A = this chain, B = another copy of it.
Amino acid sequence: MLKELELRRSCRNYDSKMPEEEKINEVINAGLHAASGMGYQYGIIVAITNKEVRDKISTLNAKIMNNEGIDPFYGAPVILLVAVKKWRNSPYDGACMIENMMIEATNQGLGSCWIHRAKEELESNEGKEILKSIKLDLDEYEGVGHVALGYSLEKGAKEKIIKDNRVFWIK
């Protein structure tokens, strides 16, 4: 098995140091290469490195989870928001993009974590206001999730225990 699939972990403690743009672009490119229903590629990525906008998204995300005051992005300097044009396949398309980006983050030596509540963000007026600089009718898009991205401050190798009884053969 590819070692990046084995080594990927959810990182919950990030350095504020901004990753090199080349690395961020590789991660984004992985997202663009994900499988999509009918090959339509309806998914988009909003790459947020602007500190002010990043903090506003964080504040809104915490509010949606009824946990104001915390940073749901664990200090990550980069937020990659994934949204997909609304159709029956949106959650699946977006999830594949996010998984690809987390795998490539591992390949780039970066930490990553799936952060939810992008759907609620894009449904809220506050979220649309924060993202208004992107010229897109966000009402046509369903938020699927975010990748928190940055250098990990987590120490040591986190164990990954695969649960039992998840495979059933019919031979």
Residue A100 CB within 8 A of the other chain: yes
Count the A residues whose beta carbon is within 8 Å of the partner chain — how many?
57
Residue A62 CB within 8 A of the other chain: no
* A41-60 Cβ-contact flags toward B at 8 Å (1 or 0): 10111111110010000000
**Complex: A111 Cα to B33 Cα, angstroms:** 16
User: In the bound complex, do residue A107 and residue B2 qualify as a contact, i.e. CB atoms below 8 Å apart?
Assistant: yes
Partner of A2, one of B30, B32, B136, B171: B30
Q: Do most interface residues of chain A lie in helix, strand or loop, or is the interface mixed? A: mixed
A104: which B residues are within 8 A, CB to CB?
1-2, 5
User: In the bound complex, do residue A170 and residue B133 qualify as a contact, i.e. CB atoms below 8 Å apart?
Assistant: yes
Residue A71 CB within 8 A of the other chain: no
| CB-contacts of A127-171 with B (<8 A) | 131, 133-134, 136, 144-145, 160, 162-163, 165-171
Partner of A35, one of B26, B29, B99: B99
A49: which B residues are within 8 A, CB to CB?
169-171
A4: which B residues are within 8 A, CB to CB?
2
